[in-house]
Structure 1
Amino acid sequence: MRDVLRGIRAEHPQPVKRAEALQLQALEACITGLQGQATSPVAAECLRACRDQALILLGFWRAFRSDDLCQLRVEHITVQPGASLEIFLASGKTDRDHQGRTVVVPALKRLCPVTAYQAWLAASGLKQGPVFRAIDRWGHLGAEGLNANSVSRLLRMAFARNGLDGEGYSGHSLRRGFATWANRNEWGAKALMDYVGWQDVQSAMRYIDTTAPFGDWRR
């Protein structure tokens, strides 16, 4: 079957469909809107804004996959206020030994994932269990974690609630957005691969938008 599919791809090559990378300017516009909604007296609106801020900023700055975000658990995250989050990730896509791994998310001067996570814990009152959950119209939290397939919809809705166009985004937009940002900020390939957890260069290049250095010749 693999040989047949490989033959079909060779006979009918198609460009790989990729999620649109979330750019920093668009990220900042969305988060600014969510920060305003987080002060709403309506419980559901406030909680949804706090949750979405934490989900989007963690997903972007740690280049998480949707399933990584949905598997996060409160008891597996250690907060160092003003410094970092230390997160244990359960077995993932590339973890063949099923040992899990621990990653660190740094605190930042702006668009800070640590501050957003702390705000979500304070608003939700969560002490254990899944970090990211469904929220009903009355502001009640679900008992189970979000489904990975819902991350794309939540991201687009977060943009739509703030009058922004997010139709081209999916859960992978967070991962691609960070990779593109890191590449433009001169991260080396090895540093980027180590941080994100890619095992080979080809995997990394699928997520990076490169710009050839034409300098002053570019229109």
Structure 2
Amino acid sequence: MSKLDAYLHAATRDNTRRSYQAAARHFEVEWGGFLPATADAIARYLVDYAESLAINTLRQRLAALAQWHLDQGFPDPTKAPVVRKVLRGIQALHPGREKQARPLQLDQLEQLAQWLDAGITEAVVAGNRPAHLRHTRDKAMLLLGFWRGFRGDELTRLQVEYIDAVPGEGMTCFLPHTKGDRRYKGTNFKAPALAKLCPVSAYIEWVSLAGLTEGAVFRGIDRWGHVRSGGLHINSLVPLLRSLFSDAGIAVAEQYSGHSLRRGFAQWATSNGWDIKMLMQYVGWKNVQSALRYVEGADPFARHRIGVDSRVVN
């Protein structure tokens, strides 16, 4: 690969590239379409999957097909009026409620931390290094993910050499690129040192136990207690979290995802007096719409419940 090709390749994130390749493959192989495509073919493709795919998935498929045509030097058929109109019609006839991960509450975070601490103590007594490593890693991942409001993919991309942690003071995590960082400037995220449920001490305990000096922070651990060289894959994070929640006694564990930590922190912050601007600056959101997706509105009747006289109802 030439330097030019390497820079062109680096301009697109790996996750985006994979999703776009999968969408183009779906259009050609599973649906049987031909690329380059006509606007009518794109419209028929949308119609055939209108009832089985979510509207956001269809939009992602359109974006992928549009990028394929642009990359190959062809006109973009997804911008044709017929395609736009069909998409609006699908949205009108098949409205879908956006699924959101269940937020992890502070008391649940404490329950998880206590369960992990008990597991760490038990593993140390039994000389079970694999369990000791896993529980220590999971505790650091949960506490840092919650108090920093990280998304799942951000947790999996953290690098030891980009983190500066000082016991009792705090820590700074540098990510070379984030979802909203289109110019690849990189972002520094600070996390606090706390009297309890401290992400700083949990992180230091993990990297010290695992002997990490560089590379991915959160990694897989085999049955013999060997820490892998590569980081956790984003696709393995959600099953890991759900298994952890279930083992710790958290109800409906299947409703949690990598976004549960961020949603939980956002709700904790707003319930403790953070305004939306402060929350956006801390988490790194660039627009209010992104922030509001994670924040549930306050219940105006929470303090003064309105009673209904049953005689009136009858």
Which TM-score band applies after superposition, normalised by the shorter structure?
Answer: over 0.9
State the structure with bigger RCO (CA 8 A, min sep 6), 1 or 2: 1
- Contact 1:152–1:170 at 8 Å: present in 2 too? yes
How far apart, CA to CA, are the structure 2 residues paired with 1:37 and 1:115?
17
Larger Rg: 2
Q: Identity over aligned residues, as a percent?
A: 49
**Alignment-mate amino acid for residue 136 of structure 1:** D
- Contact 1:53–1:116 at 8 Å: present in 2 too? yes
Matching of residue 171 in structure 1 with residue 253 in structure 2? no
SS in 2 for 1:79: strand
Q: 1:6 to 1:62 in 2, by over 3 A?
A: farther
TM-score (norm 2): 0.67
- Contact 1:183–1:210 at 8 Å: present in 2 too? no
* Runs of 4+ deviating beyond 6 Å: none
Bigger fraction of residues in helix = 2
SS in 1 for 2:173: strand
- Contact 1:71–1:90 at 8 Å: present in 2 too? no
Matching of residue 10 in structure 1 with residue 74 in structure 2? no
SS in 1 for 2:303: helix
Please report how far the alpha carbon of residue 75 of structure 1 lies from its aligned counterpart in structure 2 after TM superposition: 0.6
| 2:305 aligned residue | 218
Matching of residue 25 in structure 1 with residue 107 in structure 2? yes
How far apart, CA to CA, are the structure 1 residues paired with 2:293 and 2:149?
13
Please report how far the alpha carbon of residue 11 of structure 1 lies from its aligned counterpart in structure 2 after TM superposition: 2.9
Q: Which runs of 5+ in 2 are unaligned?
A: 1-77, 307-314
Q: 1:157 to 1:105 in 2, by over 3 A?
A: same
Between 1:99-108 and 1:2-11, the stretch displaced more is: 2-11
Matching of residues 147-162 of structure 1 within 5 Å: 147-162=233-248
Instruction: Choose which of 151, 157, 161 in structure 2 pairs with 1:65.
Output: 151
Please report how far the alpha carbon of residue 215 of structure 1 lies from its aligned counterpart in structure 2 after TM superposition: 4.5
TM-score (norm 1): 0.95
How far apart, CA to CA, are the structure 1 residues paired with 2:184 and 2:91?
32
- Contact 1:52–1:154 at 8 Å: present in 2 too? no
- Contact 1:74–1:128 at 8 Å: present in 2 too? yes
How far apart, CA to CA, are the structure 2 residues paired with 1:143 and 1:32?
28
Q: What are the Cα deviations for residues 11-61 of structure 1, in whole angstroms up to 9, with x where unaligned?
A: 322211100011111111011000111221211111000000011111111
| 1:189 aligned residue | 276
**Alignment-mate amino acid for residue 12 of structure 1:** H
| 1:54 aligned residue | 140
Matching of residues 4-153 of structure 1 within 5 Å: 4-39=86-121, 40=123, 41-153=127-239
